[in-house]
Amino acid sequence: MWCYRGGSISTEPRINDRIRVPEVRLVGPSGEQVGIVPLAKALELAQEYDLDLVEVAASARPPVCKLMDYGKFKYESAMKAREARKNQAHTVIKEMKLRPKIDPHDYDTKKGHVVRFLKQGDKVKITIMFRGREQSRPELGYRLLQRLASDVEDLGFIESNPKQDGRNMIMVLGPHKKKTEAMAEAREAQAARKAERQGLALTDDEALAEDAEFEAEDADIEAAEVTEVVEDASDEAAEAAEAAPEEAAPEAPAQA
């Protein structure tokens, strides 16, 4: 009785001595058709050309084999797969949270993040969080969302109109550019910047100063993201405190 004992099934093609058939349909190194030849003859030709005999169509009768440099073939295939993954576009939805009465400086900071996300080709979910009496003024959140959409209309559009969701009001902005276009432009800009830097022949001090500037920009972004996390945690704590029932105040002792 046959029993499967587990283990992975190899997807690699059979090569050289691993090929176990009496004859093969042989394809030469340049793609030319050699014809049906005995396996021993095919292996002999592979040795003469200093190449591998690779089974490229195992289901054919007889199987189709090709003379090639299998190591080089595997390397080129891996590079192509890596490049394909690199150019693959994944739909990402970023989120940005605001308060109805947000400070002008905070608004500019968060708008900057929205601009960055849209330039990268990502969608952005904008959430206005109402707290306490702010819940009775939904028009404040609506006007803020409309203002933000107007400020970034060159980069994105309103994909989902503002709608109330419990204590929050939500709107989704979509980018005008596709993710693949944004990625291609970012790579071109990076290459142009690198070429410009090489052409300027910066001194060591200037190069270090420029690197420090780039690192400072990244640090500002990371600091802003950390601040958002802290603010979100603070907002959630405040909302939880509001939702909790108020403890009954102790009664004053009666006067004699």
Helix, strand or coil, per DSSP, at residue 45? helix
pLDDT digit string (tens) for 132-142? Answer: 888 888 999 99
**Spatial separation of the C-alpha atoms in residues 167 and 127, rounded to whole Å:** 10
Residues 29-60: tens digit of each pLDDT? 888 998 999 999 999 999 998 999 999 998 88
Q: Give percent helix, percent strand, percent coil of the chain, each to the nearest 5.
A: 50, 20, 30
Output the pTM of the full model. Answer: 0.44
pLDDT of residue 170: 94
The stretch 92-117 carries a mean pLDDT of: 90
Give the torsion through C-alpha atoms of 204, 205, 208, 212, to 10 deg. -170
pLDDT at position 215: 60
